[in-house]
Amino acid sequence: MAVSILSIDEKELRSVRPWETIFLGDAEPVGPNESGGGRIAVGADDKLYLTIGDYGITDPQVSQDPSLSFGKIAEIDLETKSHRFLSSGHRNPQGLVVTRPGFKLWLRGATSSRRACRLCHAALRMGAVDRADQRN
């Protein structure tokens, strides 16, 4: 998963510089699937928020590994173009809401057999027990 930006001249409605990739996640290990998450929201704090699923990887340690982007919620600073992971251990996050500066809600998706939303907070590590619960 990648996030790129394009600067546009508002009067001329054309780009003023080439596309710039500001976030590049890990490559999806197994062809396209439905566990990629991929919701995006812009906060009033000039930050972008991005959900990234685990792409169906069955090893729960992958989404807990801080060196990988799988199963994370990322915050991307649009000024510095740096990012940090706010939450980890997600299977297929489907919702993302930023309500006001300093307060963000992340609603997790659920399996098709049991619809549920869960509220996640920054620095929360969703664990293997939670993952197993979602697949039941």
Question: How many domains is the chain partitioned into structurally?
Answer: 1
58 falls within a domain: yes
Domain that holds residue 128: 33-135
29-79 confidence digits (pLDDT tens): 777 776 677 788 888 788 898 988 888 887 878 888 999 999 888 999 999
Task: Report the pLDDT value the prediction gives residue 80, as an integer from 0 to 100.
Answer: 94
18 falls within a domain: no
Asked if pLDDT for residue 113 goes beyond 80, the answer is: no
**DSSP code string of the chain:** -EEEE--EETTTTEESS--EEEEE-PPPSSSS-S--EEEEEE-TTSEEEEEE--TT---HHHHH-TTS-TTEEEEEETTT--EEEEEE--SS----EEEETTEEEEEPP--TTS----EE-TT-B--HHHHHHHH-
4 falls within a domain: no
121 falls within a domain: yes
Task: Report the pLDDT value the prediction gives residue 119, as an integer from 0 to 100.
Answer: 55
99 falls within a domain: yes
pTM check: above 0.85: no
1 falls within a domain: no
22 falls within a domain: no
52 falls within a domain: yes
* Pick from 68, 85, 67: nearest CA to 76: 85
